[in-house]
Chains A and B, each alone.
Chain A
Amino acid sequence: MQQDDENGIVLTEEQKRRRRARSIAIALALGALVLLFYVLTIVKLGPGVLNRPL
């Protein structure tokens, strides 16, 4: 890491690579959670998922 008062913190290439890997992992985890909650809702409620007052 390089620290410069005018430019702020400038990440090294390695730090950028690791941050990108963490970001992708978080995105994948969130996507998996969305899918999980969707499937779980269908399984828990079954056909009742559509049975609600409009």
Chain B
Amino acid sequence: MSLITEGADIARPADARVEPSLADVGDYLALMKPRVMSLVVFTALVGLAVAPGHLHPVIGFVALLCIAVGAGAAGALNMWYDADVDAVMARTADRPIPAGRVRRGEALGFGATLAVGAVAVLGLATNWLAAGLLAFTIFFYVAIYTMWLKRSTPQNIVIGGAAGAFPPMIGWAAATGGIGVESLLLFLIIFFWTPPHFWALSLWRAGDYARAGIPMLPVVAGPAETRRQILIYSFVLAPLGIAPWLAGYAGTLFGAVALAAGAGMVVLAIQVRRESGVAAAKQLFAFSILYLFVLFAVLLADDRLGHLLGRSV
């Protein structure tokens, strides 16, 4: 006999109903935002791999697993808190909580358990600086971004973007026990990449955000100002992208690719500024994902090449 059947006879208010969970395993995976998690894991992997020194592969794997689970925990806690706004936005209405498959309390318990577990195991497996950074990242995403900034300022994704920028720094800290200038550069690249990426998306999702009462930049300041700010941030991002090469932390291969990719971002941002439709914004959004992936992939390849050729990176 199951616990649910046994517990049903316990006295409770007449109108209270114990609803058995309808959640499937896939719903719990969806709570962890796997697509966001994949980018987090990839950037953390690069931060971990390009860091100086040697980390045992098993410990490196555990570190990445903890970062992935920590990111998933932050995603679940975000969905717990944002269930009300998710329900009114077309993009998020089918998430497990607004769709009624997972209760908010279940998501809260799931996210909190994963967060504590990921931080504890990362601390025991690597070091407590990396664990502290992971804990701060989860706190920043959930408390600072989700609970506070997202609903109160159009600068929400600018400041909140820091949460997405920490993973390579956590990977670096896991490998070295410290925070180097190189990992700070990787942080800054993702930090300045976030606004053009999300604002491009918000240009054609402004109606959704307005309905949900989220003060995204196009909703509050209008599309023209958003397009202007996308261009400004792209102009800052392009030189930051080549900074690891300029600072001598990466080779010519990385410098060339970063220069070309940065130019691509700026050209698309100029098109977004000039055109009134959303076609250019959609192009920029898609390219921005490619930009970050290529930049980090080439940084990793350049580092491996440097090791093969005996160059100190």
> Which residues of A are in contact with B by a Cβ distance under 8 Å?
1, 3, 7-11, 14-15, 18-19, 21-22, 25, 36, 39-40, 43-44
Query: Which residues on B sit within 8 Å (CB–CB) of A25?
Result: 25, 28
Q: List 16 A-B residue pairs with CB atoms under 8 Å apart, sorted by A's residue number.
A: A8-B8, A8-B9, A9-B8, A9-B18, A11-B2, A11-B20, A15-B20, A15-B21, A18-B24, A21-B24, A22-B23, A22-B28, A40-B62, A40-B124, A43-B56, A43-B59
Q: A9-B20, A19-B20, A25-B28 are in contact. List 20 more A-B contacts (CB 8 A).
A: A7-B5, A8-B6, A8-B7, A8-B8, A8-B9, A9-B4, A9-B5, A11-B20, A15-B20, A15-B22, A18-B23, A21-B24, A22-B21, A22-B28, A36-B62, A39-B58, A40-B58, A40-B125, A43-B58, A44-B125
Q: Cβ of A11 and Cβ of B4 under 8 Å apart?
A: yes
Residues B145-167 near A (CB distance < 8 A): none
Distance from B306 Cβ to chain A, minimum over Cβ atoms (Å): 27
Alpha-carbon gap, A39 to B19, bound state (A):
40
* Chain B: minimal CB distance from A8 (Å): 3
Main secondary structure of the interface of A (DSSP, over half): helix
| Residues of chain A within 8 A of B21, CB atoms compared | 15, 18-19, 22
B35 within 8 A of A: no
A10 partner residues in chain B, CB cutoff 8 A: 5
The interface centre, meaning the residue of A1, A9, A10 with most chain B CB atoms within 10 A of its CB, is: A9
| For the complex of A and B, 10 pairs with smallest distance between CB atoms | A8-B8, A25-B25, A9-B8, A43-B58, A8-B5, A15-B20, A21-B25, A18-B24, A9-B4, A43-B56
Nearest-CB distance from A43 to chain B (Å)? 5
- Which residue of chain A is the closest to B117 with respect to CB atoms? A33
Contacts of B91 in A (CB 8 A): none
Q: Give the chain B neighbours of A44 by CB distance below 8 A.
A: 59, 125
Interface string of B50-92 (1 = CB under 8 A from A): 0000001011001001000000000000000000000000000
B residues with CB within 8 A of A = 2, 4-9, 17-25, 28, 56, 58-59, 62, 65, 124-125
Partner of B25, one of A7, A22, A40, A43: A22
Task: State how many angstroms separate the Cβ of B64 from the closest Cβ of chain A.
Answer: 12
Question: Measured between C-beta atoms, what is the minimum distance from A11 to chain B in Å?
Answer: 6
Give which listed residue, A1, A7, A36, A39, contacts B20 with CB less than 8 A: A1
Which residues of chain B have C-beta atoms less than 8 A from A3's C-beta?
17
Q: How far is the CA of A21 from the CA of B65 in the complex (A)?
A: 23
Kindly list chain A residues whose C-beta atoms are within 8 Å of the C-beta of B25: 21-22, 25
Q: Are B24 and A1 in contact (CB under 8 A)?
A: no
Considering the complex, give the chain A residue whose CB is closest to the CB of B65.
A36
Cα of A46 to Cα of B17 in the assembled complex, Å: 53
Residues of A within 8 A of B9 (CB): 8
What residues of A have a CB within 8 angstroms of the CB of B65 in the complex? 36
Q: How far is the CA of A18 from the CA of B19 in the complex (A)?
A: 14
In the complex, which residues of chain A have a beta carbon less than 8 angstroms from the beta carbon of B125? 40, 44
Chain B residue at minimum C-beta to C-beta distance from A28? B25
How many whole Å from B295's CB to the nearest CB in chain A?
Answer: 31
Bound form: Cα–Cα A22–B22 in Å? 10
**Shortest beta-carbon distance, A35 to chain B, in Å?**
11
- In the complex, what residues of B have CB within 8 A of residue A18's CB? 21-24
A40:B59 contact, CB within 8 angstroms: yes
Nearest B residue to A6 by beta-carbon distance?
B9
Give complex CA distance A40, B7 in Å: 39
